[in-house]
């Protein structure tokens, strides 16, 4: 693995909007997970992920593909004095490029990896074996299209309103000029619970007792963590109907999470404000979102 750069979280929308130099981004209308938020304090994130040190970072309410995301990896060696075997926080660009890709400009960014095939699929096999990571978040978003109307956004968060961590995969991309850049993807699995009313996939949210096992790539082969990605704590998340401000990446403040209606997500058939049922998962047309396997839904 390439030498890690120091974590620098002096984030700005201008920097976040700048895509990988020379790399191609293609949109998809059926991505999961394609947007999320992280607005917990750095201290709370450090506590959640057992980090001794973490640099300051601002709250972000609409994190999109190609933007830098915060993640945590396990250390290269286990030492008694090390912080949880040397856990390290770093930034990576959201959109994985496999290390074997010679010309990243001709390869689509892979923002998600199917849990069922990550250990065998060429794009993710090495990362699933050697470079698993945790990606902290406070919420994620998904869109549902009802009938012929526009796609409707929903916000998903734990009932506790506490931060959590996605299962992630990390790879170092190689640019045509020989430069290197860390890139990452979020692992997804089959949807369960009320989430199935909105999408047939859900991001894998790792339970805290499983953090160490997921990060320990030295000891645990993919088969030893298969149970972690077979389900997700996301199935029990609260679901909130929100406005369409989140559709645009430029809208990055807390207003994108403003609720526009109440419903009981525990009841069969989540209803939107018009009372219509049934859905097909879809992100807004023209928005940046994608999925692995040439950006088809996984």
Catalytic sites, residue numbers? 33, 142
List the Cα angle 154/163/298 in 5-degree steps.
50
Sign (positive or negative) of CA dihedral 214, 217, 219, 222: positive
Q: CA-to-CA distance for 90 and 70, rounded, in angstroms?
A: 6
Q: Please give the helix or strand (H or E) that residue 30 lies within, else none.
A: none
139-145 and 280-281 beta bridge pairing = antiparallel
Q: CA-to-CA distance for 284 and 203, rounded, in angstroms?
A: 19
Beta carbons of 235 and 224 less than 8 angstroms apart: no
Q: CA-to-CA distance for 106 and 84, rounded, in angstroms?
A: 38
* DSSP single-letter state for residue 241: E
Which of these, 171, 182, 72, 142, lies nearest to 289 by C-alpha position? 142
């Amino acid at each position: 693995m390439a030498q890690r750069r120091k974590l620098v979280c002096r984030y700005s929308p201008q920097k976040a909007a700048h895509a990988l130099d020379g790399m191609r981004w293609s949109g998809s209308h059926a991505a999961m997970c394609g947007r999320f938020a992280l607005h917990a304090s750095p201290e709370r994130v450090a506590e959640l992920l057992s980090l001794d040190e973490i640099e300051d970072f601002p709250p972000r309410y609409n994190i999109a593909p190609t933007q830098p995301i915060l993640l945590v990896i396990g250390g290269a060696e286990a030492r008694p004095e090390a912080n949880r075997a040397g856990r390290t926080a770093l930034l990576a660009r959201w959109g994985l490029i496999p290390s074997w890709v010679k010309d990243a400009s001709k390869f689509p960014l892979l923002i998600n990896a199917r849990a069922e095939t990550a250990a065998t699929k060429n794009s993710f096999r090495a990362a699933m074996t050697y470079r698993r990571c945790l990606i902290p978040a406070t919420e994620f978003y998904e869109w549902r299209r009802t009938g012929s109307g526009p796609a409707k956004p929903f916000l998903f968060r734990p009932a506790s309103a506490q931060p959590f961590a996605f299962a992630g995969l990390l790879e170092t991309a190689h640019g045509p000029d020989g430069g290197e850049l860390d890139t990452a993807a979020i692992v997804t699995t089959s949807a369960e619970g009320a989430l199935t009313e909105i999408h047939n996939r859900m991001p894998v949210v790792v339970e805290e007792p499983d953090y160490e096992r997921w990060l320990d790539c030295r000891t645990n082969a993919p088969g030893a963590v298969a149970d972690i990605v077979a389900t997700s704590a996301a199935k029990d998340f609260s679901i909130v109907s929100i406005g369409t401000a989140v559709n645009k990446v430029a809208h990055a403040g807390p207003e994108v999470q403003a609720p526009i209606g109440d419903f009981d997500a525990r009841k069969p058939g989540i209803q939107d404000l018009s009372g219509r049922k049934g859905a097909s998962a879809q992100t807004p047309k023209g928005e940046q979102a994608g999925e692995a396997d040439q950006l088809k839904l996984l």
